[in-house]
Amino acid sequence: MLFSGSSVANGQTEPPDTVVIPLKIRVGVEVTGPVIYLTDKNNLNAEGFISADLNERIGLFVGAGYSDFKYSQYNYEYLSKGFFLKAGVDFNLLRPEKAMGKYWAGIGLRYGLSSFTCEIPTFEYENYWGTIVTSIPPSKYFGHYLEASPGFKAEIFRNFSMGWSVNIRKLVYTGAGKDLRPIYFPGYGKGGESMSFGISYFLVWNIPFKKIKVEVKKEEPEETQESEIL
């Protein structure tokens, strides 16, 4: 009588496959903001980040930036500038044997804080007595928001990567009242919107600091049934 075969020999199973993954510290700069500033001197955004791998899938993220925004209409001018800070976690959704420490495709979850001032240096309006020109002095605000950033990064050269992310932000608090939202919120975008969207492009320097072995799960072959032969 014949039976279906097995990969077990002498009661011992095959050892699991493993891959060596380098854990890295990453230092990145966002390049979209400076490029836009070359064509529009009214809007400057500079941003960078540092991240560190905890394992092959999860990394800690800290980002910071500076914003200087100017906006003018026919009867007023608006200025806003300040700093923002983001902290959170990155999740790599690629399988370890595909990522190999060089590729990242996943999502980042962040909590953002923004400290900024805004003012209206000139504001012109008309009333019964004629044209009035006034101003609103600088006011300090401290607000916060949530951010989800799906994206992709790839190592182009040794320890140098490029990547992009789509930024989906949810406003939590502007630092001002519900009826007195700032026009522009550094790190977030338009203060009058409860949601904001953007896209970022990054240049990233990678610093390997440790190597780990990660078990690769084998895909189990489909079981086949063999008929017994008498």
Q: How does pLDDT run across 30-53, given as a tens digit for each residue?
A: 999 999 999 988 899 999 999 999
CB count within 10 Å of CB 211 equals: 10
Q: Which CATH class is domain 19-216?
A: mainly beta
Domain boundaries, the chain: 19-216
pLDDT in tens, 39-89: 988 899 999 999 999 999 999 999 999 999 998 888 888 899 999 999 999
Nearest one of 28, 26, 22 to 55, comparing CA atoms: 22
